[in-house]
Amino acid sequence: MTRITYHHASYGHVLVGPQEYKNGCPQPPKDKSIPLAARRWWDDMGLAEAADASRAVLAYRNSKLIGFFRYSFFQDFKLPNILVGAGTWVSARHRGRGIGKRLWELAIKKQQAANIEVYAATREGLLLVRRMKKQYPKLQWDITASTSAYRGENT
Ligand SMILES: CC(C)(COP(=O)(O)OP(=O)(O)OC[C@H]1O[C@@H](n2cnc3c(N)ncnc32)[C@H](O)[C@@H]1OP(=O)(O)O)[C@@H](O)C(=O)NCCC(=O)NCCS
C-alpha cells in the first residue's frame, strides 16, 4: 500500500499565497499540481472571495496532492494561538480514511493551537470539525456553519 505523506506549507506555496501581509491566495490556484476537482471546489465554495490563509497542511500520495487544510494562524492580545480554518479538501476517492482528521491534527500540533475558528460550508466539513472538537475538548472552538451544512439535522 502506498504511503501518504504530509507536509506543512506557508507563504510561497500556491495554495497559500505569495507574500505575507497580503491577501493569502484569494484566487483559485491555476497551478496544474492542484487537482482539477480541488480547483472546482474552490470556486464552488467561494474561497476566492473569502478565505485567505497563511499556511496549509498538504497530503500527498505517489507525489500527487490528494488533500489539504488551509488555515491562518495568529496571536491576539486577548486570545493566544488562534487557528482559523480556510478550507479542507480531500480527493473523493480518498475520503473516509482519516486524511482530513490527520491534516487538522498536524496543524493543531504544529501551531500549539488554543483557539479554533472555523466556518463549515458542507455537511462533511461540519462532521469533521465536530469530530476534531471531540478529540481536542480543551481547545476553545468557535464553529459556525452554513444552512446547507446543517441540512438533514434536527438542530
Ligand atoms: C470534509 C472532508 C475534508 C473530510 O475528509 P476525510 O478525509 O473524508 O475525513 P476523515 O476520514 O478524516 O473523517 C474525519 C471525521 O469526520 C467525520 N466525517 C467526515 N466525513 C464524513 C461523512 N461523509 N459521513 C460521516 N462522518 C464523516 C467523521 O466523524 C470522521 O471521524 P471518524 O472516522 O473518527 O468517525 C472531505 O469529505 C472533503 O474533502 N469534502 C469535500 C470538501 C468539503 O466539503 N470540505 C469542507 C468544507 S467546510
Torsion angles phi and psi, residue 141, rounded to 5: -110, 130
> Is residue 155 in some structural domain?
no
The residue nearest atom 15 of ligand 1, judged by CA position, is: 128
Confidence of residue 78 (pLDDT cuts 50, 70, 90): confident
Kindly state the cell numbers that stand for 91: 480527493
Ligand 1 centroid distance, CA of 99 (Å): 8
Looking at the chain, the whole-number percentage of residues with pLDDT higher than 70 is 88
> Is residue 137 in some structural domain?
yes
Residue 110 gets the label, from left (phi > 0), alpha (psi -120 to 50) or beta, of alpha
* Mean pLDDT calculated for residue range 142-150: 90
Output the pLDDT for position 12.
84
**Per-residue 3-state assignment (H helix, E strand, C coil) for 74-87:** ECCCCCCCEEEEEE
| CB-ligand 1 contact for 103 (6 Å cutoff) | no
Output the pLDDT for position 22.
59
The pTM assigned to this predicted structure is 0.93
CA dist 29 and 150 (Å) reads: 29
* Host domain of residue 107: 4-20+28-150
> Is residue 120 in some structural domain?
yes
Domain count, the chain: 1
Give the CATH number for residue 135: 3.40.630.30
- Which tens digit of pLDDT belongs to each residue from 95-124? 999 999 999 999 999 999 999 999 999 999
The residue nearest atom 41 of ligand 1, judged by CA position, is: 89
